[in-house]
Chains A and B, each alone.
Chain A
């Protein structure tokens, strides 16, 4: 537990340090803080594997009053993922030449984002989540504005929608508090009944969360915000920030909601997930711009999360938890890789459109390869993390013939994802009219973009311990 707290506090502390001390080499401080946070996160994960879930009451108060942090296998895994991705992204930001102009304000905000994410993963009550969501949202909006004038519009939309979502969320929380007098998840789980007020409160909270997570059909702000943000920011937002509301949604419906409410809701969530997969995928196949394509792919891939969550609730099948969280982790890695690669390519060519990718296998082979490898995991090609998650997701669908339509949905979604990934890759193989040669420029940034893509394929090799980790949790 202490290790997890270190992993949370170090980024906050480093953010303060950067802001107050303003050292000349901020990047080094940030990278060191990220490494420390990662090490602490790994230790936290190991301690969970060793001795099971742990909780901590801040200030020693007992549960209705206290702020309670809990460390479980799932959030330990998420903390590690967060730290890994932050480390890679800050290294990328430090090494990529295209990220120079945004540096000054980027570092403390990225740290703030990191810290609030870890705090959110660790929290187990509705009010703490509200606070961390707010922190997260503000840091995210501020990060988007770093792209300058052209991103202001998208950032403003993001800000307003995020505030609106917070209010909706808060309203639901107040209703629950009025009804049950507590906000702690574990306590609520023992108290809730399937009445009107509870249902309305849960729906309000869910609507707020879905808006924040850009879950279809509340996704409309995401493509603009994620594609206009600076590249490292796009990666952080798509890989991590949108997953936070999903985490709350999961705990809310699987723990707090009584099963009379959760089972029908699960069906609707799964349907929405299907909508996200189809329409997000279709939009990604249509858009002419590279980063927008990647952003739409996030909309689509979040559909898998929602589908897994929905079916988990609808069928009351805890096995799907592993599918849900492996999707989240695999997507986080793959999407980081994709955005970093896409951003690097876009910065190098200076053009946003997809057809500027001509000849990229020659000029930027590593970046294009990173995009393709990460894409392979998004499609769910074996042996990647995305494949493992998809495999776990479709297993229960196939047992009963009545569930086969869900499998059909997954087939179509897979084909759509293959279509948009290869749209990009095949452009890269097209002969370029200008004879270009491989530039040494930005080599290290390209390799950093490739790193998470390789990690997500390595996940397949470690699928056994990962699944064991999840099983520990459901047991």
Chain B
């Protein structure tokens, strides 16, 4: 029996960011205090609601809300273990990014517009995580595209507009492909709720061609947001956006929306059995592996910090896709936990890059020499993120790579281990020089002589506290989730719970 709370909670989680967002649009630029209050009220109420739902789902409660929408396809918001993995991640990181963004944008123009769209983006992300069927997923997926565009072009410069157009060209095309895929599946099998093991096995004999085409369409469409080769091109371009946008949206929300969609598609729509019959995952696996290597190589070639991080995202997000495509339970754990871990580490790295740019106007790798003397805390956070990406224990990245590697062996695909080894080496090759420069190289100019850099009074003042604290917070989370991975409340434990439910016979 569903209680009222169990119906309302999924909607409330979406509304907790949507309503403050809409209110913020109506504010004048000068209503600074009110805007911050609304933002924080949204953030904390969302965290509270998500915590509530997490508790409920771990107890085995069902949360579901639906209204009629299309013939045979209602709009359904529901909370299951998988959706909460993503919802919890976005909500926690929204907290960090909101504070970061308030500090970052202090005194600049268009803040109401920025925070309004920012909240819309978070609502769309949470909505697509909570979506209970493909049509609902599609609705929020497209809304996410729309809500992100104004943030990419936020600065209004020619470069920003150009990047915005590239972004739209990719994501709208991807959206159309997803739409077609969803509609095709609807035509062939209707749109029932997501269900572990998928719902397509009854029609697989009848509609082989249709199901194959739908899978290809959906993976290409979702692959745009997940930055899969060959449709990853928008991500590095979108780096002209302000740092908080790059951090939350392009490291977490948007790219993860694509990866999350692929997870749903593989586990809860097609199901492992159907996919093995159709033999579709081999191609996806090769595509993901190629993206991992390609992204790493391109990252190595970049000289701008943000661009290098962007290509690193291209590479790292595909770990999730690869883990999913292996179709084994252990690889699935690796993929699901990487969804969280990569988010924590990458947002840290982007926050750091934003701090360097804001505080000392440092954008290029060659300018990073000796940065550790001037901004030791940010540099330390950066080190945590970078080492985590490489996969050094005990940082979170190690855990996910460990499970992904085990999964490759379990499913009998040892060649994937070589992909991981190669990518790990490349990761080291493009991150370690940055760390070396930051900690050990001599700065080109003495920091005391740097035009923007009077020596801060204390180490905690190396940059604005609203920029520093979120960075340290996410870095700390990346370490803690790694160290406490074995505890009951870690993302790893939650991923195991999801897999236990998804792979249950």
Q: Give the segment of A3-11, A135-143, A202-210, A392-400 that binds chain B.
A: A392-400
| Interface hit among A27-35, A274-282, A426-434 | A426-434
Bound together, the chains give a CA A411 to CA B164 distance in angstroms of 21
- Name which residue of chain A comes closest to B140, CB basis: A382
Please give the distance in Å from A19's CB to the nearest CB on chain B: 43
CA A391 – CA B72 in complex, angstroms? 12
Q: Looking at the assembled complex, report how far the CB atom of A73 sits from the nearest CB atom of chain B, in whole angstroms.
A: 16
Task: Assess whether A391 is in contact with B183, with CB atoms less than 8 Å apart.
Answer: yes
B68 interface hit (Cβ, 8 Å)? yes
Q: Does A388 contact B (CB under 8 A)?
A: yes
Measured between alpha carbons, how far is A362 from B161 in the docked complex, in Å?
16
Give residues of chain B (114-155) contacting chain A, Cβ–Cβ below 8 Å. 135, 138-139, 142-143, 146, 149-150, 153-155
Task: Assess the A407–B180 pair: CB atoms within 8 A.
Answer: yes
Contact B176 A398 (CB under 8 A): no
**A401-B176 in contact (CB<8A):** no
Known: A391-B70, A401-B210. A414 touches B176 (CB 8 A): yes
Which residue of chain A has the shortest Cβ distance to B73 in the bound complex? A391
The answer to whether A426 and B142 touch across the interface, beta carbons within 8 angstroms, is no
A394-B180, A415-B176, A430-B161 known; A399 vs B187 contact (CB < 8 Å): yes
Those of A395-429 within 8 Å (CB) of chain B: 395-396, 398-399, 401, 404, 407, 411, 414-415, 418, 422, 425-426, 429
> Would A422 and B168 be within 8 Å (CB), given that A383-B139, A398-B184, A407-B180 are in contact?
yes
Return the contact of A376 from the options B146, B164, B168, B187 (Cβ within 8 A). B146
B407-423 interface code vs A (CB 8 A; 1 in, 0 out): 00000000000000000
Q: How far is the CB of B111 from chain A (nearest CB, A)?
A: 12
Bound-state CA distance A401–B154 (Å) is: 43
State the Cβ distance, A106 to closest chain B Cβ, in Å.
33
Q: B residues within 8 A CB of A382? A: 135, 138-139, 142-143, 179
Contact of A395 among B156, B177, B187 (CB under 8 A): B187
Of the candidates B68, B135, B187, the one whose C-beta lies within 8 Å of that of A398 is B187
**Does A418 contact B75, Cβ atoms closer than 8 Å?**
no
Chain B: interface residue total (CB-CB under 8 A) = 42
Judge if B298 is at the interface, Cβ distance under 8 Å.
Answer: no
Instruction: Give the Cβ gap from A469 to chain B, nearest Cβ, in Å.
Output: 13
Chain B residues contacting A418 (CB-CB under 8 Å) are: 168, 172, 176
Chain A: minimal CB distance from B353 (Å): 24
When C-beta atoms are compared, the residue in chain B nearest to A398 turns out to be: B187
Bits for A342-383, please: 1 = Cβ < 8 Å to B, else 0: 000000000000000001011001000000000010011111
Main secondary structure on B side of the interface with A: helix
Residues of B within 8 A of A361 (CB): 110, 113, 150
Residue numbers in A under 8 Å from B173 (CB-CB): 415
A267 CA to B110 CA, complexed, in Å: 51
For the complex, count residues of A whose C-beta is within 8 A of B: 35
B3 at the interface (CB under 8 A from A): no
Q: Are B69 and A383 in contact (CB under 8 A)?
A: yes
Whether A431 touches B157, Cβ cut-off 8 Å, given contacts A399-B187, A415-B172, is: yes
- B158, closest chain A residue (CB): A430
A100-115 residues with Cβ-Cβ distance < 8 A to B are none
In the bound assembly, the distance between CA atoms of A365 and B156 in angstroms comes to 15
Contact between chains at A399 and B188 (CB < 8 Å)? yes
Tell me if A467 and B172 are in contact (CB < 8 A): no
Kindly list chain A residues whose C-beta atoms are within 8 Å of the C-beta of B280. Answer: none
CB-CB nearest in chain A for B154: A429
Q: Are B183 and A426 in contact (CB under 8 A)?
A: no
| Cβ contacts under 8 Å, A195 to chain B | none
* In the complex, chain B residues whose CB is within 8 Å of the CB of A365: 113
In whole angstroms, how far apart are the Cα atoms of A377 and B142 in the complex? 12
User: Across the interface, which residues of B come within 8 angstroms of A318, CB to CB?
Assistant: none
Contact B165 A398, beta carbon cutoff 8 Å: no
- Contacting residues, chain B, for A430 (C-beta < 8 A): 156, 158, 161
Contacts of B65-79 to chain A: CB distance below 8 A: 67-71, 75
Question: CB-defined interface of A180-213 with B at 8 Å, one 1/0 digit per residue?
Answer: 0000000000000000000000000000000000
Cβ contacts under 8 Å, A460 to chain B: 69
Q: Determine whether the beta carbon of A411 is less than 8 Å from that of B176.
A: yes
Residue of B nearest to A427 (CB): B161
Q: With A382-B138, A395-B183 as given contacts, are A422 and B165 in contact (CB-CB < 8 Å)?
A: yes
- Complexed CA–CA distance, A395 and B68 (Å): 18
**B364 is an interface residue with CB less than 8 A from chain A:** no
Pairwise interchain contact A429-B146, C-beta atoms closer than 8 A: no
Q: Is A260 an interface residue (CB 8 A)?
A: no
Q: Chain B residues with Cβ under 8 A from A464's Cβ?
A: 68-69
List, in ascending order, chain B residues with CB within 8 A of A426's CB. 149, 153, 161, 164-165, 168
Hey, which chain A residues are within 8 Å of B5, CB to CB? none
Check: B286 CB closer than 8 A to any chain A CB.
no
Q: Is the CB–CB distance between A411 and B180 below 8 Å?
A: yes
Instruction: Report yes or no: B187 in contact with A429, Cβ–Cβ below 8 A.
Output: no
Contacts of B149 in A (CB 8 A): 422, 425-426
The reply on B437 being an interface residue by CB < 8 A is no
User: Are B183 and A388 in contact, with the CB atoms below 8 A?
Assistant: no
Tell me if A283 is interfacial: C-beta within 8 Å of chain B.
no
Chain B residue nearest to A468 (CB atoms) is: B71
Cα distance, A414 to B180, chains bound together (Å)? 11
Q: Bound complex: CA of A362 vs CA of B210, how far in Å? A: 47
- Residue from A359, A404, A429, A431 in contact with B150 in the complex, judged by beta carbons closer than 8 Å: A429
- Is B70 in contact with A429, judged by CB distance below 8 angstroms? no
**Interface check A70, CB cutoff 8 A:** no
The minimal Cβ–Cβ distance linking A317 to chain B, given in whole angstroms, is 13
Given A411-B180, A422-B168, A429-B150, A395 contacting B161 (CB threshold 8 A): no
Query: What is the CB-to-nearest-CB distance from A435 to chain B, in angstroms, rounded to a whole number?
Result: 10
Residues B146 and A381 in contact, CB atoms below 8 Å apart: yes
Q: Specify which chain B residues have a CB less than 8 angstroms from the CB of A376 in the assembled complex.
A: 146
Q: Does chain B have a CB within 8 A of A463?
A: yes
* Contact of B363 with A by CB under 8 A: no
The answer to the question of B366 belonging to the interface, with a C-beta cut-off of 8 Å to chain A, is no
A463:B69 contact, CB within 8 angstroms: yes
Cα–Cα distance between A267 and B471 once the two chains are bound (Å): 61
Q: Which of B71, B138, B146 has the most CB of A within 10 A?
A: B71
A145 CB to nearest chain B CB (Å): 39
Which of A411, A415, A429 sits near B153, CB closer than 8 Å? A429
Q: Is residue B448 within 8 Å, beta carbon to beta carbon, of the partner chain?
A: no
List chain B residues, Cβ under 8 A from A380: 179
A391 to B73, CA, bound (A): 11
Q: Which residues of B contact A401 (CB under 8 A)?
A: 209-210
Separation of A181 and B45 alpha carbons in the complex (Å): 73
**Whole-angstrom CA separation of A463 from B150 in the bound complex:** 29
Pairwise interchain contact B183-A431, C-beta atoms closer than 8 A: no
Q: Which of A359, A399, A463 contacts B70 (CB 8 A)?
A: A463
Q: Would A429 and B168 be within 8 Å (CB), given that A391-B183, A467-B71 are in contact?
A: no
Question: Could you tell me the distance between the alpha carbons of A429 and B113 in the complex, rounded to whole angstroms?
Answer: 11
A359 — which chain B residues lie within 8 A by C-beta? 156
Interface centre among B113, B187, B188 (most CB of A within 10 A): B187
Residue in chain B with minimal CB distance to A379: B172
Determine the chain B residues whose CB is within 8 A of the CB of A399 once the complex forms: 187-188
Q: How far is the CB of B430 from chain A (nearest CB, A)?
A: 33
In contact, B156 and A431 (Cβ under 8 angstroms): yes
Query: What 1/0 mask marks residues of chain B from 177 to 215 whose CB sits below 8 Å from any chain A CB?
Result: 101100110111000000000000000000001100100
Which 4 pairs show the lowest CB-CB distances between chains A and B? A431-B156, A398-B187, A382-B139, A429-B153
Given A383-B69, A395-B187: 16 more A-B contacts, CB < 8 Å: A382-B139, A382-B179, A394-B180, A398-B183, A398-B188, A399-B188, A401-B210, A415-B173, A429-B150, A429-B153, A429-B156, A429-B160, A429-B164, A463-B68, A463-B69, A464-B68
Binding site for A on B (CB under 8 A): 67-71, 75, 110, 113, 135, 138-139, 142-143, 146, 149-150, 153-158, 160-161, 164-165, 168, 172-173, 175-177, 179-180, 183-184, 186-188, 209-210, 213
Q: List 17 interface pairs A-B (beta carbons < 8 Å), by A numbering.
A: A365-B113, A380-B179, A382-B139, A382-B143, A382-B179, A391-B70, A398-B180, A399-B187, A415-B173, A422-B149, A426-B149, A426-B153, A426-B164, A426-B168, A464-B68, A464-B69, A467-B71
